[in-house]
Homo-oligomer: A and B are copies of this chain.
Amino acid sequence: SKLEETIKKTVSDKPVVVYSKTWCSYSSEVKTLFKRLGVEPHVIELDELGAQGPQLQKVLERLTGQHTVPNVFIGGKHIGGCTDTVKLHRKGELEPLLSGSGAK
C-alpha cells in the first residue's frame, strides 16, 4: 500500500525514526534518550496527522507486529518501544547501533 511505501522509505532514509504521540510520556522519554545521546531522531507525531495517524498505526502494526507508541527504528531496523530501547542502552548495545546507522 501507499502508506507502507511511505513508512519503508522513511525508515530507510533516516537513521533514527520514532513514531510517537505528543502527549505520551513514554514517547517523550525515548525522544529525550536519543537527544541525550546527541542524536536528533526523525519524529512522526501520529496524533498530529488527522485521519492518517490511525491508518499509519495500522500499517505499522502490520509491518512490525506492534500497535503501541513509541515505535522506534534504527538504521531501517525495527527496535520496538521505549522499554526495548532503554534496555539496549543499559546493555551498551544502543550506541553501537546508532553509530552503525550513521546517526552519530
How many interface residues does A have (CB within 8 Å)? 4
Chain A 62-97: CB-based contact to B (< 8 A → 1; otherwise 0): 000000000000000000001000000000000000
Contacts of A22 in B (CB 8 A): none
Copy number in the complex reads 2
Q: Which secondary structure dominates where chain A touches chain B?
A: helix
Separation of A96 and B27 alpha carbons in the complex (Å):
32
CB distance from A89 to the nearest CB of B (A): 17
Does A34 sit within 8 A of B, measured CB to CB? no
Separation of A11 and B102 alpha carbons in the complex (Å):
52
Across the two chains, which residue of chain B brings its CB closest to A25?
B26
Chain A 9-25: CB-based contact to B (< 8 A → 1; otherwise 0): 00000000000000011
Separation of A82 and B82 alpha carbons in the complex (Å):
16
Contacts of A26 in B (CB 8 A): 25-26
Q: Which residues of A contact B (CB under 8 A)?
A: 24-26, 82
